[in-house]
Structure 1
Amino acid sequence: MARPRLDSEARAGLSLIAPPFLYALVILAAPLATILAYSFLTDGYLEVLPEATLQNYGQVLTDPIVRAVMLRSLIVAAVVTFATVVTAFPIAYYVSFMVRPERKAMWLFLITIPFWTSYLIRVFLWKVILGYNGVVNSSLTGLGIIDEPLTFILYNVNAIVITLAHAYAPFAILPIFVALEKIDRSLLEAGRDLGESRLMTFWRVTLPLAMPGVVAATLIVFIPTIGDYVTPEVIGGGKIPMIANMIQVQMLALDNRPLGSALAVTAMVIVALVSALFLFLNRRFLKVRQ
């Protein structure tokens, strides 16, 4: 008598998840399958269906320019992720442990204010701030600190890192805050009762328990940052291309969809490998701490 009931519950569950699953399959899997198919072609048109080839991947792996741009993208993404998470953790810690419960909602409201405006608008605002006649140069000139506006604070890697770190800061703060909120405060009190200092209690108790939030924040920031197109184009002035800019050039400017698709697939594979390595190292860290 129990089995038919389980079967009916299973059918009800499948009927419940079927619509979003099919939607995700069409929206996510179909474009990825198309990009993957393009990467093995030579003329860029699926309707011709030429013989599959690995020539595009060979060019991606052997071209020194592609390697340099990919390495730059990884380094920029890593620096942005590190800066964002290191900056976000104290903010999340302060809101979780220092702010009174009735005021936490207000703080979270303030943290989400950047979401009110478009990402593109925020990027252009940073261009205005760092520009030749922008806020930074005008302030320094008005205070007499410099005689002429600085030209090296825009259109370089540092400007790209600052802009991306600011843009993705809320994405890092919120998951860390959620992880900190789940920590049982009695564990911290027990650590201090056993003679541990606040620093050692943080290192041995708070940080390991907050690592799920740190991992989530790291992946949330790292994955989209490495594929960011707007910021290198606007803040970098097109002079410091990242992998997304190279894909755009191959896809649209040069109409070389097979090579652009191969670049996209290679970038996705590299991001997946780096993310898996980070998760593995994080798991080893937690095992050592335990």
Structure 2
Amino acid sequence: MLVSPTALYALLLLAIPLAAVVLISFWTQTGVRDFDTTFTLANYKEALTDPLYRQLMLRSLMVSGLVTLITVLLAFPIAYFVSFGVKPEHKSLWIFLITIPFWTSYLIRVFLWKVILGYNGVLNSGLKVVGLLEEPLSFILYNVNAVILTLAHAYAPFAILPIFVALEKIDRSLLEASRDLGESRTMTFLRVTLPLAAPGVVAAVLIVFIPTIGDYVTPRLVGGPGGLMIANMIQTQFLRLNNAPLGATLAVIAMLIVAVIAVVFLILGNRAAGGKKGGRT
């Protein structure tokens, strides 16, 4: 009785829409809202053999992977500083400051990056003022690099918070014991702190990687033709080309790839957690 309301809620909002997408991927669209419900694998064959879709999928994985790597590498020092370098009574203030970007609309933040990276934007104007440029740079906007930079900034708080939580759970006496046994600060970090923080790092990786691979707003606004990702093609198939089955097929393939990668990271996280417990015993 206690579980059934939430189970029904999850079924209505998650399972049924997902099942509908999978089902539509095996159909053929014959009109604006008409479908041939005959089972077919033609959509999957086209999605897996067309070079355009493969290129977009590989680009999406590359962009999401780089965004995740950059975000986690930049987030870990911040989370480490807040956890170990800030007084306990000031930590709440720092977390509050980290979450300030959430106060503004995601679209506004993307548009601000357009202002910063534009041909006559803040970055080019600043470099011209200090004499480092004679002509504005034209390659810093409307490409993959702009997409990576914008996504990394947008998802940084999502990476900082889970890492911070994992670092806060570390028993400080374990670090003291490591130092008492003769380990340096560097080796203590590598052999004690980092393994204990691994679950937070894995969580940060998943939290950043999964949504970025499906982002279509940022590539559309700052990516240009060379920065579009698979989500943009899915949107195009549904809303412009009137081919919902192929769009659903691309979505299913993207979800399967993300699921496999997520499972790999979860396995690595569980192994790290197992090694942590074994080391502590």
Q: How high is the TM-score relative to the length of structure 1? A: 0.91
Q: Which amino acid aligns with 2:249?
A: A
- 2:24 equivalent in structure 1: 38
Structure 1 residue aligned with 2:128, among 135, 141, 158? 141
Shift of 1:241: 1.4
Match of 1:242 in 2: 229
Q: 1:230 aligns with which of 201, 204, 217?
A: 217
Query: 1:20 aligned to 2:6?
Result: yes
Matched with 2:257 is 270
C-alpha distance in 1, partners of 2:209/2:267?
Answer: 16
**Deviations, residues 32-55 of structure 1 (Å, cap 9, x unaligned):** 111111100012678755211111
> Which of 126, 134, 145 lines up with 1:158 in the alignment?
145
Q: Which residue of 2 aligns with 1:74?
A: 61
Residue number among 174, 181, 204 corresponding to 1:217 in the alignment = 204
Alignment-derived partner of residue 107 in structure 1: 94
Taking the aligned partners of 2:102 and 2:225, their CA distance within structure 1 comes to 25
Match of 2:168 among 168, 178, 181: 181
Worse-superposed segment, 23-32 or 208-217: 23-32
Q: Give distance in 2, aligned partners of 1:123 and 1:76.
A: 16
Within the candidate set 30, 51, 75, 2:38 is matched to: 51
Change (3 A) 1:110 1:44: farther
Alpha-carbon shift at residue 232 of structure 1 (Å):
0.5
Q: 2:46, 2:35 → 1: CA distance?
A: 22
Please state whether the residue corresponding to 2:223 is helix, strand or coil.
coil
Deviations 1:71-106 (A, max 9, x none): 010011000000000000000000000000000000
SS of corresponding position for 1:216: helix
What do residues 185-229 of structure 1 show as CA deviations (whole Å, max 9, x unaligned)? 000000000000001001111011101100000000000011110
Contact map agreement 2:234 2:250 (CA 8 A) in 1: yes
**3-state SS, counterpart of residue 154 of structure 1:** coil
Q: Give per-residue Cα distances to partners, 1:101-142, cap 9 Å, x unaligned.
A: 000000000000000011111111101110011110111111
1:181 CA displacement: 0.3
Ranges in structure 2 where 5+ consecutive residues have no aligned partner:
none
Partner-residue secondary structure (3-state), 2:139: coil
Amino acid at match of 1:24: A
1:288 CA drift (Å): 6.5
Across the aligned residues of Structure 1 and Structure 2, the Cα RMSD in angstroms comes to: 1.6
Give the % identical residues: 66
Q: Which residue identity is paired with 1:28?
A: L
Q: Give how far 1:265 is off.
A: 0.3
Q: Give the Cα separation in 1 of the matches to 2:29 and 2:20.
A: 14
User: Hey, what's the Cα distance between the residues in 2 that align with 1:254 and 1:225?
Assistant: 24
Alpha-carbon separation, structure 2, partners of 1:44 and 1:19: 38
> Which residue type is aligned with residue 132 of structure 1?
Y
Aligned CA distance change for structure 1 residues 121 and 44 (closer, same or farther; 3 Å) = farther
1:11 equivalent in structure 2: none
Q: Which amino acid aligns with 1:118?
A: S
Instruction: Say if 2:220 and 2:228, in contact at 8 Å, map to a contact too.
Output: yes
In the aligned structure 2, how far is the partner of 1:204 from the partner of 1:252? Answer: 51
- Aligned position for 1:170: 157
Distance 2:273 2:171 in 1: 18
- Deviating more after overlay: 24-33 vs 272-281: 272-281
Q: Which residue of 2 aligns with 1:4?
A: none
The secondary structure found in structure 1 opposite 2:119 is coil
Q: Displacement, 1:166?
A: 0.3
Higher alpha-carbon deviation: 121-130 or 274-283? 274-283
Deviation, 1:31, is 1.2
User: Cα distance, 1:28 vs. partner?
Assistant: 1.2
Mapped partners of 1:184, 1:97: distance in 2: 12
Q: Is residue 123–residue 231 contact of structure 1 (8 Å, CA) maintained in 2?
A: yes
